[in-house]
Amino acid sequence: MGVKRTVVYGIPNCDTVKKARTWLQAHGVAFEFHDFKKAGLTASIVNGWLADVPLEVLLNRRGTTWRALPDEAKAAAETQQGAVALMVEKPSIVKRPVVVVDGRVTSVGFSPDEYAARYA
């Protein structure tokens, strides 16, 4: 089997993303970083993620971005289409990091134990 392409999606100043990137580097896992604040997200990327993980996992309803949203935006996020549009418009509402290996989401968020089981 060839070398796997690993992409870490997130925001560089996010503490959880920093921990995940540091862990991957320390364990010799080669990856590309996609800063979705600068490089953005597309509906096709987010819909692809949703083929692998449920919306409830991907949409961060506990963060400050969510809490600052008007009620109409929160209501629109109840449908997958509305939630995808919201994540494209405000990528910081995505739980991060999202790690994609060979086009499939392998993890959302960071847990050293989970990373050791998946990537070490």
Question: Which residue in the list 14, 53, 73, 101 is annotated as catalytic?
Answer: 14
Is 14 annotated as catalytic?
yes
* Cα–Cα distance measured from residue 53 to residue 60, given in angstroms and rounded to the nearest whole number: 13
DSSP for residue 99:
E
DSSP string, 4-30: --EEEEE-TT-HHHHHHHHHHHHTT--
One-letter amino acid of 41: L
What pLDDT digit, counting tens, does each position of 44-85 carry? Answer: 999 999 999 999 999 999 999 999 999 999 999 999 999 999
CATH number among 3.50.50.60, 3.40.30.10, 3.40.50.2300, 3.40.50.300, domain 6-119:
3.40.30.10
Q: Is the pLDDT of residue 94 over 90?
A: yes
The pLDDT of residue 120 is 78
- Diameter over CA atoms, the chain: 48
What pLDDT digit, counting tens, does each position of 76-91 carry? Answer: 999 999 999 999 999 9
Indicate the domain borders of the chain: 6-119
Q: State the sign of the Cα–Cα–Cα–Cα dihedral 65, 109, 98, 105.
A: negative
For residues 59 and 95, the answer to whether their CB atoms sit within 8 Å is: yes
